[in-house]
Every structure is written in C-alpha cells, then in structure tokens.
Amino acid sequence: MHRRATILILAISLSLAAPAFAPASAPAPAMAPAPAMQARYTNPLVMENAGRLADPTVIRFEGKYYLYLTGGVSPGGDWGAAVWSSDDLVHWEHHPVSIEGDRGIGAPTAFGYEGWVYLTGNDRGLFRSRNPLGPFGFYGDFVDEHGHRLENGLHDYCTGCADGGVFDAAVFVDDDDRVYLYYAGGGGDGVYGVELDSSDLRQFVGPAQHFFRFEPSHIWERYGSHNEMSTQSWIEGPWMTKHDDTYYLQYAAPGTEWPTYAVGVYTGESPLGPFEYYEGNPILLYDHGLITGSGHHSVVEGPDGNLWAIYTLLYRNWNRMFERRIGMDPVGFDADGNMFIKGPSETPQWAPGVVARPWEGNDAGSIPLSEDKVYVASSEAPGRNAPYALDNNARTWWAPADDDAEPWLEIDLGAWEQQEFLVDSARVLFTLPDGDVEDEYSPNNKGAARFRRYKIEVSADGESFTTVVDKTESQTDNAVEFDEIEPVACRYVRFTLTGWPKDLPRGVLELTIFGKPIPE
C-alpha cells in the first residue's frame, strides 16, 4: 500500500462571501421545479458506447434530439456511423446506424427537411432517411450549378470538394425554407457557402461564395499552443445560427490538435453575407484546465427554448495524436447582439430547463474537492502514481499494479484542517487504448469486455465507509461517468475499481469529487 501527500496549492475561503449550501430539498433560485439529482451535467458529456468523439451535429426532429459524431461505429464495425438520441440534451442513448454501402462518415452533419432527415459528411454525397436513426439510403452526390459532380480542383470554390461532397459540411434551413450549404476549404482557405435547390438538395444554385480565409492579424486563428505560428491555420467546422434577423456564421480555428482550439463568428444580414468579422472573437476558448481546446460545434434550441452549443473538446494530444470528447454550454447574446458561448465549463452545470437564463450563469455551485489532496492507494504502476488521477490533467493517469485484482484509491479531502465537506457528485474519466478509434472497437474490445465497473464510498473517520455510488454491475460502456450523490458530509472518499474491459490496460485519467465546504 502506498501513502503520499501531494503538494497542496489551494485556498478555501469560508467567509460569508463563499457560496452557501442549501438542503437537498431546497430549490435553487430562479429555477423551474426539477429534482437536483436529475438536473445537472458535467463536461465531457457522458456518452454511452463512446470513446474518442468529435465534430458534433445535433438536430431536433419530431421533439427528440439526435447527435451525429465523428467516432461512431456502424453495425459492420466501420467507424463514423452512429447516432445518439436524447430527450433533454444530457442523457444520451447510443444507436448503431446503417448507411447504404456500409460507408463510414467523418464530420457528419444532418438536417431535417420536408419529413426527411438528410445526412452527409467529409467527401460524401447526400444520404437520407425518414428516420433519424436510419437506415440511410444514398440520395446522390452534390453537383455544381451546371450539374457537374463536385471534384477537387473543378472550380476555385471547390478547394474543399472531393468525391461528390465537401469538407466539414453544415446545412442551414432558413425561416422561408430555403436551404444553404456551408463548408471549409481546408488549411487556411476559410469558409464557403451556397444555396441548394429546395426541389433537389444535391444541386447548387449558382456558384459557391468564398466568405473569408485565415487572417494572420486574428492572433487566435494562428497555429500553435500559444498561437505562435503566424503563417498557418486550419479553418474548419462552419455553423450558421439566425437570431433576431442576424446571421451568425461560426467557425473553428486554428486546428483541433491545439489547446488554442476555439470558436469565432462573423455576422451578416443574409445567409450568404456579406459577413463582418467580430472583433471580440473568439466566442468560445479553453480555460486552462481539464479541457484544453474547444471547437467544431453545432447550436440547437434546447427543451427550455434557449440555444445550446454542443462542441468538440480536446483534453489529450500526443504529437498530433489527439483525444477528443463532447461538451455543452449555453449560448447568449449581449446587449449589442454579439454572440457568445458560456463555457467551456468543467464543473457541474444545470441541465437545460433548470435556469431561466443559463447564459448569465449556469454553474450548479459544486466545486472540485479532490484536486491535489492527500491520498492512499492500493497500488501504483511505475510512473503512473495515484496523484495523476487527482491533478485536473487528462494527460496523466493513475494505473494500478498488474497484480492488483481490485485496486482502490482513497482521498482525504480535509487532511490539513481536519475538515468535512458536503459531497454531492463525482466525475470519472477512464483511459482508452492507444491508437485511433478503430482500435477501441476491435473484436476483442466489444460487448461486455468494455464495461468499467466501480464503487464510491465515503467516510467521516476513515474507518467506517458507506457506499454512495454502486456500479459494480454496470452494463454500460462509458469512458466518462458522472454520478450524482445524495449530499453527504464526509472527509474521506474511496474509489474502488471492480471490473475492467478485457485485454485493455487499466487506468483512471481523472477522478473529481464535487461538493461544497461546510461553513463553521
């Protein structure tokens, strides 16, 4: 057994200015009636049967939400073809999807039009189905205004075109039912757009327009962890939102592998511009914590009638081998009509429908209690010490010794002040195998072998423990978990790993215990 006190750099204010806590039964101010135990989420979002994910498009179709992502898996094992559904944007159910030709789709985008759900993606034509979960039949390749199939180099406006499709497509249906396609040219080439023929959505109406390209004077668009590469960028992930008769053309830069990955916006008075750059860009930028990049996104009206951004978040990158997940935060507009995204958030947030104006503040008031605290571990593999699970850094992880059959990690939340805290939730980020998404879904890693099982116990004295989370019989493949806990006063928290996917190395990227200090 290994015991080690980590260096503590932490100041906890217990003054009257500190956030107070209320009994679990007391409703929070300015919130609709909703059980707190069912009304929160954290980033990264919990996504069933999901590993590395990116490039989200979320649509609302017949009252339900459907999320299309890079990193899904088809019934035949081809990556890039799966959908997640939800009623509330928080709880997501996984659905393998059949696409004609068993074709995987990267950076998928979907939209509803006249009773059909249309689907396309990088270098793909158009597919459609009457059901958002498919099966999707091939509708046809995109063609230019002359009826020619889109090919790279065919036109100046087709630097992002290939094989009958475009790169990082996004489709916007305006209030008058006119349909517009937006896409990226690749590299610093910027964003293009064109109207589609509403009677044949494969057909361009006129030549595509080039709206903007990489501008080196926009420092945040430059390559690099510090935007230090002044001549390079990767402009991607366009998305269109209409608000109060203004069109907001959003995009991501400087590239999904950089911690400077962010979202910017141009505005215009029509779907095809002209567009003006917003000098307050970027409107979503990483916050130097667990999330180290936030880009390629979509925006949807939530069940509360407010707008929510679903975005790609980066928290691990290894010399351009990057690992991504999905995040969500509310969208707002200031008094001058400038768009912003209230994020990226890393602590428990209220779900859509709880706070009336979430863009003004959506934090649920629970703070991380476990970061850099004293610990005891059943074992530690060489170089994979337990503090790596408590450092708010997803690039490091705790791994137990190979012969530790049921490893555990115990945290002393209040060692320095002999203090108890009110614990109310926990987030667990598990390791994934090295390599690309295909490695996660090899035959040896399917089915029950991918279940991660654990329990969380709490104690006031470090001797007598009570179980508050029991997932020892879990039947869900989740690489990210968020567990609500009936608020309980305690000083010690013990996490025990009781089951792990066969033939995969064990590891916990991050274990975060959330709650509040108990005032004296």
Determine, yes or no, domain membership for 509. yes
Determine, yes or no, domain membership for 219. no
For the cut 70, the answer to whether the pLDDT of residue 235 exceeds it is yes
Do the Cβ atoms of 128 and 114 come closer than 8 Å?
A: no
Tens-place pLDDT, residues 300-309: 999 999 999 9
Closest CA to 303 of 89, 498, 463: 89
Tens-place pLDDT, residues 335-394: 999 999 999 999 999 999 999 999 999 999 999 999 999 999 999 999 999 999 999 998
Do the Cβ atoms of 281 and 260 come closer than 8 Å?
A: no
Q: Taking the CA atoms of the chain, what radius of gyration do you get in angstroms?
A: 24
The mean pLDDT value for 474-484 works out to 92
Distance, CA of 452 to CA of 498 (rounded, Å): 8
Tens-place pLDDT, residues 21-37: 333 333 333 433 334 44
Which of 90-94, 286-290, 438-442 has the least mean pLDDT? 438-442
Tell me the pLDDT band of 12, cut-offs 50, 70 and 90.
Answer: very low
User: Which residues face 454 on adjacent strands?
Assistant: 471, 497
| Average pLDDT of the residues of the chain | 87
For the cut 80, the answer to whether the pLDDT of residue 478 exceeds it is yes
Q: What pLDDT, on a 0 to 100 scale, did the predictor assign at position 495? A: 98
Closest CA to 489 of 450, 454, 452, 515: 515
Q: What pLDDT, on a 0 to 100 scale, did the predictor assign at position 159? A: 80
What is the share, in percent, of the chain residues with pLDDT greater than 90? 72
The mean pLDDT value for 486-491 works out to 97
Tell me the pLDDT band of 501, cut-offs 50, 70 and 90.
Answer: confident
Determine, yes or no, domain membership for 450. yes
Determine, yes or no, domain membership for 136. no
Tell me the pLDDT band of 272, cut-offs 50, 70 and 90.
Answer: very high
Q: Residue 460: phi, psi to the nearest 5? A: -90, -30
- Cα-Cα-Cα-Cα torsion 155, 156, 162, 164, nearest 10 degrees, comes to -40
Q: Residue 437: phi, psi to the nearest 5? A: -60, -30
Tens-place pLDDT, residues 415-462: 888 899 999 999 999 988 764 444 444 444 444 457 899 999 999 999
Tell me the pLDDT band of 38, cut-offs 50, 70 and 90.
Answer: low
Determine, yes or no, domain membership for 418. yes
CATH code at position 492: 2.60.120.260
What type of residue is 193? G
Distance, CA of 355 to CA of 206 (rounded, Å): 44
Q: Which two tokens stand for residue 122?
A: 């990088």
For the cut 90, the answer to whether the pLDDT of residue 13 exceeds it is no
Determine, yes or no, domain membership for 389. yes
Write out the DSSP string of 183-223.
Answer: EE-STT--EEEEEEETTEEEEEEEEEEEEE---TTSGGGSB
For the cut 60, the answer to whether the pLDDT of residue 11 exceeds it is no
Q: What pLDDT, on a 0 to 100 scale, did the predictor assign at position 503? A: 75
Tens-place pLDDT, residues 156-211: 777 878 889 999 999 999 999 999 999 999 999 999 999 999 999 999 999 999 99
Tell me the pLDDT band of 130, cut-offs 50, 70 and 90.
Answer: very high
Owning domain of residue 440? 2-24+367-517
Distance, CA of 275 to CA of 222 (rounded, Å): 21
Determine, yes or no, domain membership for 135. no
Distance, CA of 302 to CA of 512 (rounded, Å): 27
Question: Which residues in 82-102 are b (16+ Cβ under 10 Å) and which e?
Answer: bbbbbebbbebebbbbbbeee
Match 């099982």 to its residue by tokens: 453
Distance, CA of 265 to CA of 65 (rounded, Å): 25
Total structural domains within the chain: 1
Determine, yes or no, domain membership for 504. yes
